[in-house]
Each structure stands twice: as structure tokens, then as C-alpha cells.
Amino acid sequence: MSDNRGRDGGFRSAGRDKSDRKPGDKKGFAPRGEKRGFAQREDKPAFEKKEHTGKREYTGKMDHGPKKDYGPRKPFAGHGSAPHGDKPHVRGPVHKGDKPYKPNNLGPRRVALETLLDVSRSDAFAALALDKRMNTAMFSRRDRAFTTQLVYGTLENKIALDWRIDQFLDGDKALDPVIREILRMGAYQLFYLDRVPDMAAVDESVSLARAMGMEALTGLVNAVLRSMIRGKEDVVWPKPQDDPVKYLSIMFSVPGELAEMLIEAYGEHGALEILRYRPKDRAVTIRVNNLRCDDARLRSLLADEEMEFAPGIVPGTYKIMHAGDLTRMRAFQNGLFTIQGESSVIAARAVGAKPGQTVLDACAAPGGKTAVLSEMMNDTGRVYAWDTHAHRVELIRGTANRLKLENVRPAVKDAAVERPDMAMTLDAALIDAPCSGTGVMLEKPDVKYRVTREGVMSLCRTQAEILDAIAPMVKVGGTLVYSTCSVLPAENEMQIRAFLERHGEYEVVKLGDELPEALAAHEGDCGIQMLPYRDGTDGFYVCKMRRVRA
């Protein structure tokens, strides 16, 4: 749940990101070029059918006449075209040997739209929906990056985009959901992406509506987007002094209920800092598999791939810029490294697992933290890795197999169920509990629209049940680490304080050397809350406890 998985093409690799702009900032019109002409073919090649084989053999000539000067090329706004690399494009048929592959004929914008509709209609997770759609599209690396950016950028700014769109609608604001998504995507390109010309964004949006069988509404799409261009400075935005909750909700695209909870937890200024943090360059973090590789070799492999990287704050981690699909690298497939956020690594390292021990990763999928534990133990002893769903346990198994880890024991088990037969059998346990995901909103913007007070309360009850079920399994002197990828105190510090009141046999201990020096100053008497804007990590909470008596 908490592992930091990279996106194909990187979140910002399709164009310069303007997410640090305030809505309403100006962006000039892109100049329109001259029209291109096309030479008319005077004849066609002649073909003859070869006897017995059924194959055709070229026997004629093609004469296109003298070359002509058609003047400067114009950035074409049609589906998937990209003269001079101005925009992503869809490649033509690709061949491997004599067997042609049939490419998906949908352009990046169409795939992005259908992914967004999957999320809005079926409450699908954006990452899974996008992967499914992308697997059937034979896109270039640039197209994949552009599609990814359209999906996540539109989701990340959805509420602000709707606020802007609604001010240019006449009469009833109720729109067909497909048209609403098309307008959101169009507005995102107009006001957040420099490299997409304004008129191209409009024309592509109109074409997209037509392609979706909504010819009658193409005029509305065209009119609204053109009005937004002309009236970009006329948009009225909420003011923080009038209504702080509404201001945060609209300007940073979070539900009002979540804005309220963040203000209650961190005050208006703290909530503002959390929500407005959107780094221009978003890196993918990887971690070396110390059992099969070392830092020097991994750095050499990254250099060979001409990747831009820098060391992370956790030993053995590296931040990769413009990463692309790292899973296609042979070094990844051979288990030399894995994709994992630094805060996730910190949570696993806090366990302090040692060779020969028996350790439990109670909520383990997809297996990143399980792998850290296994490697700390030099692939000895035993690491139990549980999840409640069989398909997620297969993810754990896949991670262990790829990294060549032999001491991992994946199983379908509910960590909230008490198991008296396992009482005081574990040297250590890690509970990376199910949570609201508010600490990874930057990487998974769709999660913020699912956060409600009622939902958080339900999660807190589940977290308490898991803590109470796992606590008796740890030996006296053993370690229990609790973590979430949430920034809400109810799921973190308040959860642990309530646990300690119920379980006097446990006490909090400092993370010690497992906590990077850059973060040590932020550790309190009940663990550490990492914050993206302050620490440059995901918004993880980690607390280490020791069982001091039976």
C-alpha cells in the first residue's frame, strides 16, 4: 500500500509543469503557422500476384515529381500528430520480423479520457486503470508520458478545474460526465501545460467529443474552452480570509471535509503548506538489493542507462529523474534493485531485523518492506508476509521471486484476527496499517477524493484491531513497529497513545540509527510524522515500540 511506485515517463516528463502557478496566471497564445500543402500522387505502384505463393511483388516505379517547397511546418492539432516533436504522437504500425503488430488506434488523449472515466464511473484506482489502458496502446515513450501526465494532472487539479469551467457555462451546470471530463482535460492543457498550444487544446477537445459520439455537444466544448481563454483573468477565486476551508478546497483541489481535518490537525498555515507542496520535478526512488548488488555497481548501471540520479537520504536509495519505465530495465528484472520510497524503507528498517529471527510483515503487499526485512536478515530466518487478498499475496510472492529471497513466507491471512497459537513467537512485527493515504496524495491524487471523516473513523477501528491482534505475538524484548502513509493524527499518534493505554506491556523507543540524520530532529516522544513539504519524503508516520513484559 505504501510503497512508492514510479510512473511510466515520470509525472512531469511530457512538458514543463506549471503546478506551482496559482490558477488564473497568464499564458500566452501559441502562434499559428502556415498551412501545409501536399503533393498529389500521379501514379501508383503496380503489383503482380506471384504464382503459387499468394504474395505480391512490386514491379513498378513511383514518381512523385520534383520536390516542392511547402513553407514552414504548422503544429498539427489532429489526433496523435507531433511535427518537430512539439506534441506526443502515436507511432504507425510496428513490425517484429515479418509479423506486424496492430497498434491501438486511440491517441493519448482518448486513452487518458477513458482512464478518467474508469475512475469517475467505477471508482477505479487511477494507477491500475491507467496501466490496464496503457497495456493495450502501442505508444512511444513520449506518448506514454503525455497520457500519464494528462490523467494525473487532471485528477490532481479536478476541483480547481471545475471551479474555472463552471464560471463559463451558461445556465444549468449539469453536464454529461464525458463532456465534463473532456472540459477538465482541455482546461488542464490550457492552464497547466506550456507546451500544448491553446488552439490545439481546444481543437483536440472538440475532436475528442466527436470521437466519443457526442457531435451535438462539440459546439459547447468549443465555446466553453474558447471563452476560458479569453476570460482567463475574469475568474473569481475564493479568498482565504473569507472561508479558509473553501479556499483550500478550491485552490488545491481537495474535498472540503479533508481540508477541515487538515486545518484541525495543523492549523490553517500548516494545512496550506501540506496542500500547496507540488514539486516541479518528481523523482522515482529506488533501493539497491544488497544481497545481489552494491551501491557502486548500481550507480554504474544507472550511468550506463544515461539516467539522471542522486543519492537519497536513506543509505542505498537513489532518486531517478525522468525515470521512464524502470521495470523494463534488465537490472530491475534481475532483482538488483527495487522501486520503493524512502519513508517506506525507513519504516521497514525501524524493525531492526537480524539474521535468524522470525519476523512478521502483517500488511505486506506488494512486498517492498518485506524485502527490506529479508535483506536485513541476510535471507536467513523467516519473514511471514500476510495480506487479506490472494491477488495481493501474489504480488508479494512476485517481489520475493524477482529479488531472489528465499526466507519469505507469503500467506493469505487477516492481520486483525487474533491467533493465540502464535503468542510470543515473533522477534519483531511490522504493521503498515491500512490508512487514508493522505501522505501520498502527490503520487496518488485520486485517493484524496475518497477521504471522509466516517471513512477515517472506520480505518482507525481497523488499525486498532490489527494492533491488538498482533501485539500478543511479539516476544518479551521484541519489537513492534507501526506505520501508515497518512498525515492525519487520528491514524497515527492518537492511535498509538490509545494502544499504549490498552497495552501497558509496550513502550515507545527511539528509532535511533535507522532514522536519517536529516529527519532525527522531527522525532517526538511518540514516533515521527514525516511531511512531504518539510522532509522531501512521502507523508509517513513511523513509531517503534518494545515489549517490556508479558
Grid coordinates of 488: 492525519
| Coil, helix or strand at residue 451 | coil
For the residues of 253-313, what is the DSSP string, one character each?
Answer: T--HHHHHHHHHHHHHHHHHHHHH---SS--EEEEE-TTT--HHHHHHHHHHTT-EEEE-S
Among 357, 344, 388, CA closest to 483: 344
E strands, 47-165, where? 47-49, 56-58, 94-96, 99-101
* DSSP class of 50: P
Whether residue 338 contacts residue 403, with contact meaning beta carbons closer than 8 Å, is answered with yes
For the residues of 212-240, what is the DSSP string, one character each?
Answer: TT-GGGHHHHHHHHHHHHHTGGGPPPP-T
Whether residue 95 contacts residue 101, with contact meaning beta carbons closer than 8 Å, is answered with yes
Phi, psi of 178, rounded to the nearest 5 degrees? -65, -45
Residues in the chain: 550
For the residues of 345-359, what is the DSSP string, one character each?
Answer: HHHHHTT---TT-EE
Q: Taking the CB of residue 130, how many other CB atoms lie within 10 A of it?
A: 26
Among 1, 10, 268, 257, CA closest to 152: 10
Whether residue 471 contacts residue 503, with contact meaning beta carbons closer than 8 Å, is answered with yes
Q: Which of 363, 435, 460, 485 is catalytic?
A: 485
| Coil, helix or strand at residue 442 | coil
The residues that bridge with 541 in the sheet, in sequence order, are 484, 529
Helices (H), 356-502: 368-376, 390-402, 453-470, 493-502
485 an active-site residue?
yes
CA 293 to chain centre: 27
End-to-end CA distance of the chain, in Å? 31
CA atoms within 13 Å, Cβ hemisphere of 140: 15
For the residues of 171-204, what is the DSSP string, one character each?
Answer: S-----HHHHHHHHHHHHHHHHBTTS-HHHHHHH
Residues known to be catalytic:
485
